[in-house]
Structure 1
Amino acid sequence: MTATTEKTTEKTTPPGTVLIAGGGPVGLFLTYVLAFYGVPSILFERNDTTTRWPKMDLTNARTMELCRKLGLAAELRAQGVAPAFDQDVLISTGLPASEPMAKWELPGVTKYRAQIAACNDGTLPLEPWQRISQAVFERWLRGMCDANPLISLHYAHKVEGVEEAETKDGRTVVKTTVTGPDGTTTVWTSDYMIGCDGGSSRVRKSLRIPLDGGPIPSCAVLVHFKSRDLSRLHRQGRFWHIFFVGASGDIEAAIIAQDEVDTWTVHWFVPLGTDTDRYSSEEVVANALGGLHGAYPVAIDEVLVRSVWRPNMAVTRQWVSDHKKVFLAGDAAHQNIPTGGYGMNMGIGDAFDLGWKLSAVLRGEAGPGLLQSYEDERRPVALRNVERSGVHFQVHMKLKDDILQGTSPQVALEDSDAGRALRDRIRAHYEAHDGENKDLGIEMDVRHVSGVIVNDVIQSKEPTWTPRYYTPSTWPGARAPHVFLADGTTPVYDLLGKFWTLLVFAEGEEESFGEGFMSTAAAAANLPLKVVRLSDEPHVASLYERKLVLIRPDQHVAWRANRINGVAEANAVVQTVAGWKSSEEFTVSSAPAEVNGELKSKFTGSVELQTQTDDFQLEKMGDFQK
């Protein structure tokens, strides 16, 4: 460290240390992934503690699989909602009604785990989802990071901006300007920097990376509160979410049970320009819960947080800087409507992907192509999932047009033929559009296409992709299927190595299939490889489709074949999957449009570099403009 002025100092990170802006769940998770793979990091968070905002309230099944890989799943579950509680979603005219109009029955962890144990065809995840408020998740994760000697957390430190600079010896480094709690400024020099600093990311803005999309014409008042008035809150039974129909005919409010004890969050949607300050928090909650019936007050013990927010749908055009030294992850790279719960879970996917790849490069086990694959693989996921969040949102916002069609929503309150018919139509609508937390294709069937994925040399047809269902497959780039071994309790995932794994389903001498060639090539390239032989597992072999399947640290398939012919071919595979050479020499097919970013709907709006003020639409989402 050298002092430059009385107000500004300079610091250089030790070699191999990564700087991170943003101490939300994505930034904290990223530090943990880097540490898991032996890489130190320094994180700066502008707030002086973890969030008080509820935000996310479900870690989905894919996130839980990644947590299991890190050894965090069991402890995370201990912080969240108890496994016995189911998580039903209700559609209601308001809590004064004796019963809801519709229900999505979603299992709690105990029931979901039983379903997984009973269905060993590869279509389900290894881990059930877990309800947990982001406020609890962040606080717990910070404790895990604080205890790790490779992680240095600096709260109340604000990243003001970053730039890539060239050193005297011709290297490109990152200069990160940080303001401390005492107002002093430090310019940190590092080899790599990652912006996990949210939707208004200073990292993204200082690099002048455009963000396509923006807020939709809607806003909501959020009230996060404590209440033990369970007799009134549970009038229609226990719930995870309740959506309330309002006077407009669409869903105008929702309540979320955060912990099945006493913590709740209400979102009350109001027209843009509404003077929300004239409503007390108690009035906001009462108006939301009353739905079509009028105010329904409950006893509030404490208001924890209140705000007004607008849903955003946006994705950055770049996820990596021009000189490949700065990366974006989480909300800094993509923003979506909360419906579907994709936001934080996508960010966790970003963090794991970038964490293992960057650590491999820093350990000298991978080349620059592996880092380029971060944007190539994760941006299409964001494009698809952000759009899907809008599809789910429209399920709630199209009642007036698609179901009521001129009928007054008040008819739903009537004990009449017309009232019963309307309630039946609403129930049928929600039964037909229940994918908000059931779209396993969106959450798990991610098939990456990039320069580090090697196509199958055997001509075969790619499995059909749908948003709803996960199709078990080892198609190159896809998440490998979860399946239990013949003993019924040991999952294949628990046999995978910390780094790379070669699954071998061949019988007979290994040399006849080329397993030894792959081991030799991996050793020569310094690629840590675990070989797992499963020749006595015919059920697993049938789902994994080839005799040799190479699995990446993130449980995605990098390459598969029935045999490999010599060390030269094995070297080519290893050099490609590790990012030392491009996969262009192999025949690589394109993924389905929904997966590779060639979406039917394109972002048509563009938000300028420093602000997000323009409404926009996806082609499917034109109704947002009405």
Structure 2
Amino acid sequence: MNARTVDRIPVLVVGGSLVGLSASVFLGRLGVGHLLVEKHSDTSSHPRGRGNNVRTMELFRTAGVEPLIHEAASVLADNHGILQAEDLTGGHQEWLFKEIDPGGALARFSPSGWCLCSQNDLEPVLVRQARELGGDVRFGTELLSFEQDADGVTAVLRSREDGSQRTVRASYLIAADGPRSPVRQALGIGQSGAGDLFHNVSITFRAKRLADVVGDRRFIACYLTNEQASGALLPVDNREQWVFHAPWHPEKGEPLEAFTDERCVEHIRTATGVPDLEVEITGKAPWHAAERVAEQYSAGRVFLAGDSAHEMSPTGAFGSNTGIQDAHNLAWKLAAVLSGWAGPALLETYGEERRPVAVATSQRASARSAEHRHPGYDALPGTGRQKNVLAVALGYRYPTGAVLGADPEAPAVPDSFQSNGAPGSRAPHLWLRRTGERLSTLDLFEKSLVLLTGREGDAWHAAALQLADQRGIPLDAYRISDEPGHELAPEPGADWADAYGTAADGAVLVRPDGFVAWRSTGSVPDAAATLGEALDAVLRRSA
């Protein structure tokens, strides 16, 4: 490697799309120095990847960016549901579901909600936030090569603007470089799964009169099933800018060049049922739906995240959300190891936890595409509709990994959503009061481990403060009760111990990513010794 100078950084992030940029934000919030490189010259200009589920929005809430995302997404704030219709003018129409959160029931479980924000609107928000947090984000810069040894990763980067090269030395590398990940290929990591499912061409276009045809049907997407021209119609601004996903069959020898402007215009007119619709094609981008998961999520000091680790059918937006949640899981572990309060073996739990979630979620995504009869996908749906998408969004869990007391035989994604504070699951949401301030339990989890106790948890509380000081572990402790001097009070009617599956004298240890690491259902003879052993096991600290 003959670049003149070597720049040293804790983490190198390769790929500046949703997952890489989210990783940058999460690392920045934790004070981890990093460099992000993206080969393209700017963020995505194509409206895609728009569905941000409730768990992803919780993560963005904790990272302080949720209000900015809602602002960027305001034009589609009233769009809900998936419509299926032969065309937009006929009578054969069916809502596959009309409301994402009918009746507002989700508020029982989360301070956040689903958010429809297209990738081209979301990515600039993440770029600004990442840079404000100190992230070195560089577009138009590509990874040429990398080598790793026991102490770090040496990478050669090239500016695509002037061809200049630089060498960086990073402690760790995150590869968020897409489904055809050059980093994954260089590592020789294989993939498993069903493989290619179907192919579409995403067509952006303007059609001023289409809003009159759509009327008050404010859908997220409309699957148009006309036998002569099927496809999916998605609004961009509900007025004149739209996206149409047209089936494409490269496996039958159909070239991408066959999608001329003239063909696309006629396809859209036929699919919508408006033969004289004025259509202006503004862009085209092919995309491929697949079900693949990397056989391993890391090799040495290099970690895969997002599409480099897993490909999923787009129905339900499971892929982008799973990728952002990958980045969140990995960020706190890198911060802990780099800061010295966790052992290096903690990083081995990243793939142990995230890969089973991806395998289960990718299968759910494929099944949902079949259920919705996504244009271009010929698979037959299974019996019945998927009832509990919340189990995928909020109910995924880690049966093994940096957790103690979880059921190792439990599925990573259950059939139904349960929120009970069990080890390996997302910590339940409860509204609390702190000196007049209203906050969620989820607002407590980001930059430290957190020990929650109740009315009779003074021994646990004292043990946590003692261990944090003795061992140099960022560990916050909160007693949740109406007792004077206790740090947090539950809102009237809320029972913290019941929600977290413990008793008034029990304790729950929550990780920085908001997952329950360990739980004691009651008091023990030596709280400090018991909690200390749990911390060492979760953080992979040597005795």
Instruction: Write out aligned runs for 1:208-357 (5 A).
Output: 208-213=188-193, 215-216=195-196, 218-234=198-214, 237-247=217-227, 252-271=230-249, 272=251, 273-281=253-261, 283-288=263-268, 290-291=270-271, 296=275, 298-301=277-280, 303=282, 305-321=283-299, 323=300, 325-357=301-333
Alignment of 1:14-53 (within 5 A): 14=9, 17-53=10-46
Q: Conserved in 1, the CA contact under 8 Å of 2:77 and 2:115?
A: no
How many angstroms does 1:393 deviate by? 1.3
Which of 362, 367, 385 is equivalent to 2:338? 362
SS of residue in 2 equivalent to 1:19: strand
Per the alignment, residue 470 of structure 1 pairs with 417
Q: Say if 2:55 and 2:393, in contact at 8 Å, map to a contact too.
A: yes
Tell me the CA shift for residue 468 of structure 1: 5.8
What is the Cα deviation at residue 491 of structure 1? Answer: 2.4
Once the two structures are superposed, residues 270-291 of structure 1 have per-residue CA deviations (whole angstroms, 9 ceiling, x without a partner) of: 3332245344335325424634
Q: Once the two structures are superposed, what CA deviation does each residue of 1:216-245 show, in whole Å capped at 9, x if it has no partner? A: 253222102233324454157332210122
User: Is 1:180 aligned with 2:159?
Assistant: yes
CA distance in 1, matches of 2:428, 2:120: 32
1:55 offset after TM fit, Å? Answer: 2.4
- 1:133-165 residue CA offsets vs partner (Å, 9 max, x unmatched): 1011112211222333x2111211111232213
**1:575–1:289 Cα change, 3 Å:** farther
**Which residue is 1:94 aligned to?**
87
Residue aligned with 2:298, SS:
coil
Change (3 A) 1:531 1:286: farther
1:66 aligns with 2:59: yes
Q: Distance in 2 between matches of 1:340 and 1:473?
A: 25
Describe the shift of the 1:461–1:572 C-alpha distance in structure 2 as closer, same or farther (beyond 3 A): closer
**Residue 576 of structure 1, CA deviation:** 1.2
Contact 2:38 2:141 in 1 (8 A): yes
Partner of 2:8: 13
Equivalent residues in 2 for 1:451-466, closer than 5 Å: 451-455=401-405
The answer for the alignment partner of 2:485 in structure 1 is none
- Displacement after TM superposition at 1:530 (Å): 1.4
Quote the residue 1:555 is aligned against.
514
Question: Structure 2: which amino acid aligns with 1:552?
Answer: R
CA separation of 1:220 and 1:296: change in aligned 2, threshold 3 A: farther
2:395 to 438, 445, 453: 445
- Provide the rounded CA distance (Å) in 1 between the counterparts of 2:56 and 2:380: 34
Structure 2 match to 1:545: 501
Distance 2:22 2:211 in 1: 38
Classify the secondary structure of the residue corresponding to 1:203.
helix
**Cα 1:344–1:154 shift into 2, 3 Å:** same
Are the aligned partners of 2:211 and 2:239 in contact in 1 as well (CA < 8 Å)?
A: no
Residue 433, structure 1, aligned to residue 385, structure 2: yes
Give SS of 2:35's match: strand
User: 1:259, CA displacement in angstroms?
Assistant: 3.4
CA shift, 1:551, in A, is 0.9
Gap change, CA 1:130 and 1:516, over 3 Å in 2: same
The letter of the residue matching 1:155 is: F
1:181-200 matches, within 5 Å, as: 181=160, 182-200=162-180
| Structure 2 SS opposite 1:555 | coil
Deviation at 1:80, TM superposition (A): 0.4
1:569 to 519, 530, 541: 530
Structure 1 regions of 5+ residues with no counterpart? 166-170, 404-428, 583-626
Alpha-carbon distance change, 189 to 549 in structure 1, aligned in 2, over 3 angstroms: same
Equivalent residue number for residue 528 of structure 1: 474
Letter in 2 for 1:579: R
Is the CA contact 2:81–2:98 (under 8 Å) kept in the aligned structure 1? yes
Q: Is the counterpart of residue 500 in structure 1 residue 449 in structure 2?
A: yes
Q: Distance in 1 between matches of 2:76 and 2:285?
A: 31
SS at match of 2:32: coil
Q: Is the 8 A contact 2:78 2:218 kept in 1?
A: no
Q: CA shift at 1:209, angstroms?
A: 1.3
**Superposed CA offset, 1:488-541 (max 9, x none):** 96422234463111111142x723xx3322332233221111111113445222
The reply on whether 1:160 has 2:144 as its aligned counterpart is: yes
Q: Are positions 1:388 and 2:364 aligned together?
A: yes
Alignment-mate amino acid for residue 402 of structure 2: V
C-alpha change, 1:515 and 1:440, in structure 2 (3 Å) is same
- What is the CA–CA distance in structure 2 between the aligned matches of 1:125 and 1:377, rounded to whole Å? 22
Out of 110, 113, 121, the residue aligned to residue 136 of structure 1 is 121
Please say if residues 370 and 380 of structure 2, whose CA atoms lie closer than 8 Å, have aligned partners that are also in contact.
Answer: no
Sequence identity (%): 26
- The corresponding residue for 1:597 is none
CA contact (8 A) 2:76 2:236 kept: no
User: CA contact under 8 A between 1:286 and 1:297: conserved in structure 2?
Assistant: no
Distance 1:449 1:252, change over 3 A: same
Aligned partner of residue 345 in structure 1, secondary structure: helix
- For the 8 Å contact 1:132–1:259, the answer to whether it is kept is no
8 Å Cα contact 1:285/1:297 also seen in 2: no
Q: Which runs of 5 or more residues in structure 2 are unaligned?
A: 483-489
8 A Cα contact 1:267 1:288, kept in partner: no
The corresponding residue for 1:622 is none
| Higher relative contact order structure (alpha carbons within 8 Å, sequence separation ≥ 6) | 1
Corresponding residue number in structure 2 for 1:606: none
Q: Normalising by structure 1, report the TM-score.
A: 0.76
The reply to whether residue 482 of structure 1 matches residue 462 of structure 2 is no
Aligned residues: 521
Question: Structure 2: how far apart are the matches of 1:226 and 1:257?
Answer: 10
Alpha-carbon distance, 1:338 to partner: 0.3
Matches of 2:155 and 2:392, distance apart in 1: 35
Counterpart residue number, 1:598: none
Contact 1:223-1:285 within 8 A present in 2 as well: no
Q: For 2:415 and 2:194, how far apart are their aligned partners in 1? A: 26
1:228/1:301 contact within 8 Å kept: no
Task: Say whether the 8 Å CA contact 2:5–2:166 is kept in structure 1.
Answer: yes
Cα-Cα RMSD: 3.1
**Which amino acid is the alignment partner of residue 529 of structure 1?**
L
The aligned residue for residue 440 of structure 2 is 491
Q: Per the alignment, in what secondary structure is the counterpart of residue 451 of structure 2?
A: strand
8 Å contact 1:463–1:473 — kept in the other structure? no
Q: Match of 2:169, as an amino acid?
A: T
Q: Contact conserved, 2:293 with 2:358, CA < 8 A, in 1? A: yes
Given that residues 197 and 290 in structure 2 are in contact (C-alpha distance below 8 angstroms), is that contact kept between their aligned partners in structure 1?
A: no
In the superposition, relative to structure 1, how do residues 518 and 263 fare at CA in structure 2: closer, same or farther (>3 Å)?
Answer: same
Distance in 1 separating the partners of 2:61 and 2:380? 42
